[in-house]
């Protein structure tokens, strides 16, 4: 059996370790005493979304509006263009998701059957669009 072609889209992550010396020379400071300094550290924009290759284009068109709404809670969040499982309380706070098809393809390949989602995941069929919350804007 051949592994499915799956891609993980990651945002606001570094693919390499950033040295403290380099970051200090660039004028950035650590985000906390125990973490390395991170240029452009915006925790609201940290995310990983795993999808099948043919789902990438619709997700790529939708992700900017989702990221904007994560920064500004007054904006609502539309459902993703492909059925997706979101891990966490809701789409405003989640940083990890899989499309339903990618989850099924990977767990079937890896385990031999579709694995159940962890209890903290919101299944694709239970995921709802989230309205904006007036008065809670980050820039108000």
Q: Which residue has the higher pLDDT, 8 or 19?
A: 8
Mean pLDDT, the chain, rounded, equals 81
| Distance of alpha carbon 99 from alpha carbon 84, whole angstroms | 4
User: Beta strands 47-52 and 96-99: pairing type?
Assistant: parallel
pLDDT tens across 58-107, in order? 999 999 899 888 888 888 899 999 999 999 988 888 889 999 999 999 99
| Distance of alpha carbon 77 from alpha carbon 68, whole angstroms | 9
Element (H, E) at 134: none
pLDDT tens across 14-58, in order? 555 666 676 666 666 655 555 555 555 677 778 899 999 999 999
Helix, strand, or coil here: 138? coil
Domain range list for the chain: 6-13+43-126
Structure tokens belonging to residue 51: 């999808």
Alpha carbon 30 to its chain's center: 23
Buried b (16+ CB within 10 A) or exposed e, 28-37: beeeeeeeeb
């Amino acid at each position: 059996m051949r592994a499915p072609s799956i891609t993980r889209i990651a945002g606001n992550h570094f693919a390499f370790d950033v040295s403290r010396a380099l970051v200090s020379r660039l004028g950035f400071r650590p985000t906390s005493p125990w973490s390395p300094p991170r240029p452009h550290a915006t925790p609201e924009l940290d995310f990983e979304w795993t999808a099948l290759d043919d789902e990438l284009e619709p997700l790529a068109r939708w992700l900017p509006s989702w990221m904007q709404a994560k920064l500004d809670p007054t904006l609502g969040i539309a459902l993703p263009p492909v059925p997706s499982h979101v891990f966490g309380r809701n789409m405003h706070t989640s940083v990890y998701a899989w499309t339903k098809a990618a989850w099924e393809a990977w767990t079937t390949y890896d385990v031999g059957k579709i694995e159940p989602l962890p209890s903290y995941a919101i299944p694709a069929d239970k995921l709802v669009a989230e309205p904006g919350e007036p008065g809670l804007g980050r820039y108000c």
